[in-house]
Structure 1
Amino acid sequence: MSKYVMSDLHGCYNKFIKMLDQIEFKNDDELYILGDILDRGKNPLEILDYIILHKNITLLKGNHEQMYIDFYENNDISLWYYNGGEITHSQIVNKEIGYDKSLYNYFKKLPYIKTIDKFILVHAGLSFPDNCNYLSIDDFIKYQDEDTCLWNRENIGKEQKYRDYTVICGHTPVQSITNNYDDVRILKRYGTIYIDCGCVFEKANGKVACIRLDDMAEFYIK
């Protein structure tokens, strides 16, 4: 059994399936997707259907799932559309009656942070109180607020570390951190691993990235 992490698939269903083939994903393996399966790409709901059908895949909430929640609750579509939600929305409205509500209920229940062994999985980032290393892991996790976990970029370039845990996050494509659009790969910086390689952004040499927690092996699909 192996444990894998991906993030920010953004509707790139075909690349997602190719990645599963590359890692030879099995029924006794585990996959954690750090949010943002929706928007920008062509097939977001196909990714969701695949996740729901496979109990060994865990989806965490990303800011794009939260934007759908906010749209459903407030009927304000502007922020969601600004961030590429039009494709997802057009597919949702063509589904059967009640699909939008079931999608809302599903996303509302998603976790926004998870610990696996010595890894903290989150979509965007964490808050680090001054005394964080004196906190138990349970208290450190309780300290995290949802907005930070879904949206935060403040720690990029000034990464912090909690004890001997490693943070794995997506949200920010590594190209925008390194300004390197040629050799696009998972970025590791002082206790934080950035795994969003911008798969939906083809002009930025985007890739689906996957990391295996057992041995930290990296996999890529362009």
Structure 2
Amino acid sequence: MRKIAFTDIHGCIASFEALLDQVKPGKSDQLFFLGDYIDRGPDSKAVLDKLMDLREKGYQLTCLMGNHDQELLISLDDLERREFWLERWGGDKTLESFGVRYPEDIPAEYLNFIRDLKWVHCADDYILVHAGLNFYNEDPLEPDPDMLTLRSWYRTTDYEWLGNRKIIHGHTPKPREHIYELFLVLDDFRILDIDAGCYAVHLPGLGHLCAFDMTNKELYFQKNIDEMRWKVV
């Protein structure tokens, strides 16, 4: 039985399926998804369909919330945030994938899937979260919006609190070479960002999807093979 983490798929269904072909997960494996399933890529709906299909077929999935997933939920009621989500975060691509004009027209089963996402998960000696932990909080594992948005938080890490545990996260795209460098010192540094910037095919070193086999200490990378029509604004 393996424990395998994925993150920041961002609607890149072809790349995601190709990565799954590499990893070859079995139903005895535990698959952890660290958020940001939607936006920017060409088919957010297909990514959510794939996750729900895997779960329906008996695969063991733990799915966490990302800031893009949360922003969709916020956009249901907040029109100002909706405009920002659509124009700056690639939310328009999510709506296109569903064939709708407004987020409230997305079928309820998908919205409920997102509403049910966890904020953080502990698996043996690993802490899984989308962006990071706020070590200024009395309990860094208490659900907190910072878990979805933090950047540049490593210097605040409370290693005494962390103990022998390791934090696996996404959210901040890093070149695959940098991810591999962090992987090599994981036993000492105890933090690994596995967001290889799948959607950012136009930026040097990015444009990959990454998975981390926590059981066998192995990284997988899949180059983006989706047709991308989104770019950083």
TM score, norm. by length of structure 2? 0.80
For the aligned residue pairs, the C-alpha RMSD in angstroms reads 2.3
Per the alignment, residue 174 of structure 1 pairs with 174
1:86 and 2:84 equivalent? no
Contact 1:11–1:44 (Cα < 8 Å) also in 2 = yes
Per the alignment, residue 68 of structure 2 pairs with 64
Contact 1:93–1:100 (Cα < 8 Å) also in 2 = no
Counterpart Cα distance in 1 of 2:83 and 2:68: 13
Alpha-carbon displacement from aligned partner over 1:46-67 (angstroms, at most 9, x marks no partner): 1101111122222211000001
- Cα deviation for residue 156 of structure 1 reads 4.1
Q: Which runs of 5+ in 2 are unaligned?
A: 224-233
- Cα deviation for residue 140 of structure 1 reads 4.5
- Greater Cα shift, 39-48 or 100-109: 100-109
| Residues 98, 42 of structure 1: alpha-carbon distance in 2 compared, 3 angstrom cutoff | closer
Per the alignment, residue 192 of structure 1 pairs with 191
1:35 and 2:35 equivalent? yes
Q: Which runs of 5+ in 1 are unaligned?
A: 133-138, 176-181
Across the two proteins, how many residue pairs are aligned to each other?
206
Counterpart Cα distance in 2 of 1:127 and 1:191: 15
- Cα deviation for residue 43 of structure 1 reads 1.4
Per the alignment, residue 46 of structure 2 pairs with 46
Give 3-state SS (helix, strand or coil) of 1:107's partner: helix
Give 3-state SS (helix, strand or coil) of 1:202's partner: coil
Letter in 1 for 2:216: D
- Greater Cα shift, 10-19 or 151-160: 151-160
- Cα deviation for residue 191 of structure 1 reads 1.9
Contact 2:3–2:215 (Cα < 8 Å) also in 1 = yes
Contact 1:160–1:191 (Cα < 8 Å) also in 2 = no
Per the alignment, residue 150 of structure 1 pairs with 148
Give 3-state SS (helix, strand or coil) of 1:215's partner: coil
Counterpart Cα distance in 2 of 1:93 and 1:53: 20
- Cα deviation for residue 184 of structure 1 reads 5.4
Per the alignment, residue 16 of structure 1 pairs with 16
Runs of 4+ in 1 over 6 A off after TM superposition: none
Give 3-state SS (helix, strand or coil) of 2:141's partner: helix
Counterpart Cα distance in 1 of 2:165 and 2:118: 19
- Cα deviation for residue 106 of structure 1 reads 2.1
- Cα deviation for residue 20 of structure 1 reads 0.8
Counterpart Cα distance in 2 of 1:23 and 1:183: 19
Give 3-state SS (helix, strand or coil) of 1:219's partner: strand
